[in-house]
Amino acid sequence: MNEEFQGYKGRALQVLKRIGARVGDIVRVLKKGQKFEGILIPRSEFGDDKHIVIKLRSGYNIGIFIDKDTEINKIGPGVKPTFSPPPLPDQKTKLPRVAVLSTGGTIASRVDYRTGGVRPALTANDLYSVVPELSDIAVIEAQILFSIFSENITPNHWSQATKYVARHIKHGVAGVVVAHGTDTMGYTAAALSFALQNLPVPVILVGSQRSADRPSSDAATNLIGAVKAAASAPFAEVVVAMHETVNDQSIIFHRGTKTRKCDTSRRDAFKSINTSPLARFKNDKITMLTDNYNRRESQRKLTTKPLFEEKVSLVKFYPGLNPGVIKWYAENGFKGIILEGTGLGHISSRCFPIIKKAIARNILIGMTSQCIWGRINMNIYNTGRDLLKLGVIPLGDMLSETALIKMMWALGNTKDEEEAKRLLTSNVANECLCRTVF
C-alpha cells in the first residue's frame, strides 16, 4: 500500500494527486457553502473511492463525498509535533518507580501528524514530554504490551497482562498503571482483579475518552491521577481511574469488579455500580472513600491466577429469546453460561427445559440482572424459585460483565465443578456484596 495516500484509490486518489495533498497534510474543502479544514487521514481498506476523510480541529473525523461541486485545496503540510526534551528526574531521586504498561486505546495514542494515523506514544520519554507533570510524581518505566483497539482484547490478553503486571511488581515498583481503551476497560479491570491476588501495591487501569491531541482531552489528567495513585495511594487493589465528573477537578478510582462504562462519550463515563468509589484524587491529594479496603504493604507476596476459560458465554435475555441459542452453547463444549435476566433474576419458562439439560451436563449457569443496579433475589417469585431448583446459581449484586469474567476465571483455575461453584459464589475481589441466605 502506498503510505503517502494510504487507503485512497480511484477518483479520490486522482484528486489528491492533482492538488498535491498527501495523508497528514492540512486541506480545506468547500462544499455547498460549507468549509471544512483538517488533516487528511488514511482510509480503511474497506473504503470506497468517492470520499476523503479529514480530522477536524474538534478531533472528529469527517468523510466528504467528492463530486464536481467539491473544491479541495492543500493549505499546508502536516505539522510535526515538537517534543521538548523531557525533564528527566535526577538519577539519585527518591521518587517512587511506577510501571506504565500500554495495551492500546485512546489514552496510549496520539495522532501521528505525518500519517494522520493514531500510534502509541508510550516510551517513558514520550510520556514525560506529553505530560511533563509526571516527572514530579514518579520515575516511569514504560512498556508497550499490545497495541490494539480494546474491543479486540481477549481473555488471552488478560493472562498476558497479568504476567507483565506481576513481573513489574516483583521488580519492586510502587505501583502499576495499565493504559487501556475504555471500551472494554471494565472487563479487563475485573479480569485483573481476579487474576492478581494478595496485591502488595495498587494496579490502576486508566483510559481516556478523547485522544491527547484534542484540546478537550482527558488523557493527561487521568494519567496524572493514575500515576499519583500507583506511586502513593494507600490501597493495594485493581481500580479504574477516570474523571469523576465532566470537569477536570477530580479523578475517581472505581473498584475493578464494580465498574462499567455507562456513557459512549462523556469523560465521566465510568461509574461504580452498587457501591461507592474506592478513592478520589483532587487538589493533588488522594482521599479514601471507605475504610474497608486492602492496604498497601510492599512486603506482601503477590500470587497470580492468570488462566481464563474462553468457553463461557453471556446471554442477555429478552422477550422472544430463542432457547436454541442456549442449546447451541451447551452442545458446543461451553462450560459455563451467565444469563443476564430481567428484574430480580428471571427468564422465560420456555428456556427451562434446555437449562435443565445443560445443568445435567455439568454446565455452570449463573444469573445476573440486566437492570445493572440492585441485586437479584430469586426467592420472591416462582420463576426465580423454579430456576434455583433447576440449579441456576444466583449471583447477588454482581455486574453481568464481572460475573462472566469470574466464571471464565473460576473455570480456568479448576476442573472441579464444585470448586468452581464455590469460587463463583464466594467473595474474591469485592465483586459481590452478598447477604447471608438463611
Positions marked active-site: 106, 182-183, 261
H/E run at residue 205: strand 203-206
Handedness of CA 273, 180, 43, 267 (dihedral sign): positive
* Integer Rg of the chain from CA: 25
- How far is 319 from 349, CA to CA, in rounded Å? 11
Instruction: Tell me the closest approach of the beta carbon of residue 48 to a second copy, in angstroms.
Output: 8
Complex with a second copy: residue 167 or 327, whichever CB lies closer = 327
- How far is 339 from 327, CA to CA, in rounded Å? 13
- How far is 46 from 149, CA to CA, in rounded Å? 18
Instruction: Tell me the closest approach of the beta carbon of residue 62 to a second copy, in angstroms.
Output: 6
Instruction: Tell me the closest approach of the beta carbon of residue 195 to a second copy, in angstroms.
Output: 14
Complex with a second copy: residue 51 or 97, whichever CB lies closer = 51
Complex with a second copy: residue 47 or 225, whichever CB lies closer = 47
**Amino acid at position 390, single letter:** L
- How far is 63 from 111, CA to CA, in rounded Å? 17
Instruction: Tell me the closest approach of the beta carbon of residue 166 to a second copy, in angstroms.
Output: 20
Which long-range contacts (C-beta less than 8 Å, at least 24 apart) are formed by 117-120?
117/6, 117/41, 117/42, 118/211, 119/147, 120/144, 120/147
Torsion of CA 248, 251, 257, 263, to 10 degrees: -10
**What length does the chain have?**
438
- How far is 408 from 412, CA to CA, in rounded Å? 6
Instruction: Tell me the closest approach of the beta carbon of residue 176 to a second copy, in angstroms.
Output: 20
Which long-range contacts (C-beta less than 8 Å, at least 24 apart) are formed by 157-162?
157/103, 157/188, 158/188, 158/191, 158/192, 158/195, 158/306, 158/308, 159/195, 159/306, 159/307, 159/308, 161/101, 161/103, 161/188, 161/191, 161/192, 162/191, 162/192, 162/195, 162/196, 162/304, 162/306
In terms of DSSP H, where are the helices of 68-154?
124-130, 134-137
Closest CA to 304 of 418, 168, 211: 168
Instruction: Tell me the closest approach of the beta carbon of residue 99 to a second copy, in angstroms.
Output: 23
Instruction: Tell me the closest approach of the beta carbon of residue 352 to a second copy, in angstroms.
Output: 10
3-state secondary structure at position 423: helix
Buried b (16+ CB within 10 A) or exposed e, 105-138: bbbbbbbbbbbbebebbbbbebbbbbbeebbebb
- How far is 185 from 405, CA to CA, in rounded Å? 13
Instruction: Tell me the closest approach of the beta carbon of residue 350 to a second copy, in angstroms.
Output: 8
Instruction: Tell me the closest approach of the beta carbon of residue 425 to a second copy, in angstroms.
Output: 17
Q: Give the Cα-Cα-Cα angle 136, 300, 192 (nearest 5 degrees).
A: 75
> Which grid cell sits at 204?
490502576
Chain position carrying cell 497534510: 25
